[in-house]
């Protein structure tokens, strides 16, 4: 048996002429009815958790969803897997949080759609059915949270939305797809990681981060891009109201020298600074020692983001500060 949790997003929407665009409309029963191949995949239960656009999924709502999934896993009739429908715009944040804080033994498969039920080529039924295939498969056990979209399977710690409007909307700049769904079967490129085994450089198996020391996502973390000639004004404006900051630097972690004093002020106040890159691929490598070069920023106290997108780095720092642990550490 699998548990279908419907949270909203484009997959639940249709066009409303009076509203002038797409709005939430469909619950779980209606969406299942639009996916005629789904009942043959596995027995399922439907839960209408919400009809939220992705942009409405703030940190309290994300934590509420995380706790609901944890309760389903811990229930007397734990499912073989869980499917979560979600708005695509912030799937990567939700997937990262769930992958970081839920027991990976029961797979959680997130999916959505890029077209609404009003559009030609509505991709919701296929994605929903494929996600169910992934959640129901024995091969998915131990893989934790994943995203299934357009026939591809991505790990929850690495997935990123890379296309604003195309059907093939997701990628993973630090690893690519981990599997594919075709003809009612999911296949994976590699075996499921063993409990306690590290996954990818800088990552920690989710069972070591079960959220025992994390009661809520209380930390406030800023994400600030660097621009040519930056002198740190936005960094200084954010510092009094935020607990930490992720910086979107140039290239491998370089930034204008005028922003360095503002970074030092964050560090002097004991507020962590995470150094990421605005490049869509690759990670910070502090090899430049000129003023403002990545090496000088790290020397000033910033921490490289590691193999994480900017959104993932921001969420990782939010989790770490909320749990009272260093960036990237296990949540004991």
Catalytic residue ranges: 10
Cβ atoms of 179 and 188 within 8 Å: the answer is yes
CA–CA–CA angle 114, 116, 122 (5° rounding): 75
Cβ atoms of 129 and 148 within 8 Å: the answer is no
User: What are 250's two structure tokens?
Assistant: 């140039």
Candidates 205, 187, 188; CA nearest to 196 is: 205
What's the rounded Cα separation, in Å, for the pair 217 and 50?
20
Residue 78's φ and ψ, nearest 5 degrees, are -60, 135
Would you call 6 helix, strand, or coil by DSSP? strand
What's the rounded Cα separation, in Å, for the pair 152 and 22?
26
Give counts: helices (H), strands (E), the chain.
Answer: 8, 16
Residue 200's φ and ψ, nearest 5 degrees, are 75, 155
Pairing, β 21-24 against β 13-16: antiparallel
Candidates 219, 229, 301, 312; CA nearest to 266 is: 301
User: What are 37's two structure tokens?
Assistant: 């191949």
Question: For tokens 């209606």, what's the residue?
Answer: 30
What's the rounded Cα separation, in Å, for the pair 107 and 150?
19
What's the rounded Cα separation, in Å, for the pair 271 and 20?
44
């Amino acid at each position: 048996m699998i548990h279908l949790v419907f949270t909203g997003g484009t997959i639940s929407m249709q066009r409303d002429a009076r509203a002038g665009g797409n709005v939430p409309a469909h619950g779980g029963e209606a969406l299942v009815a639009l996916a005629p191949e789904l009942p043959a995949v596995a027995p399922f239960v439907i839960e209408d958790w919400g009809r939220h656009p992705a942009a409405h999924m703030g940190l309290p709502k994300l934590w509420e969803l995380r706790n609901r999934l944890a309760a389903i896993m811990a229930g007397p009739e734990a499912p073989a897997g869980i499917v979560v429908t979600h708005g695509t715009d912030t799937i990567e944040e939700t997937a990262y949080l769930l992958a970081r804080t839920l027991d990976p033994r029961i797979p959680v498969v997130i999916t959505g759609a890029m077209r609404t039920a009003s559009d030609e080529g509505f991709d919701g039924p296929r994605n929903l059915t494929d996600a169910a295939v992934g959640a129901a498969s024995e091969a998915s056990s131990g893989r934790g949270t994943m995203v299934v979209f357009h026939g591809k399977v991505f790990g929850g710690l690495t997935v990123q939305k890379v296309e604003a409007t195309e059907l093939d909307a997701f990628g993973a700049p630090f690893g690519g797809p981990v599997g594919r769904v075709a003809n009612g079967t999911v296949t994976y490129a590699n075996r499921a990681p063993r409990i306690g085994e590290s996954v990818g450089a800088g990552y920690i198996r989710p069972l070591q981060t079960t959220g025992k020391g994390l009661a809520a996502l209380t930390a406030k973390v800023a994400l600030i891009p660097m621009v040519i000639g930056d002198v740190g004004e936005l960094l200084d404006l954010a510092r009094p109201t935020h607990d930490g900051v992720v910086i979107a630097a140039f290239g491998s972690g370089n930034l204008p020298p005028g922003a360095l004093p503002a970074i030092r002020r964050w560090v002097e106040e004991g507020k962590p600074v995470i150094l990421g890159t605005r490049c869509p691929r690759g990670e910070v490598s502090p090899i430049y020692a000129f003023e403002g070069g990545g090496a000088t920023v790290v020397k000033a106290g910033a921490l490289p983001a590691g193999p994480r997108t900017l959104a993932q780095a921001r969420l990782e720092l939010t989790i770490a500060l909320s749990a009272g642990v260093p960036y990237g550490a296990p949540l004991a």
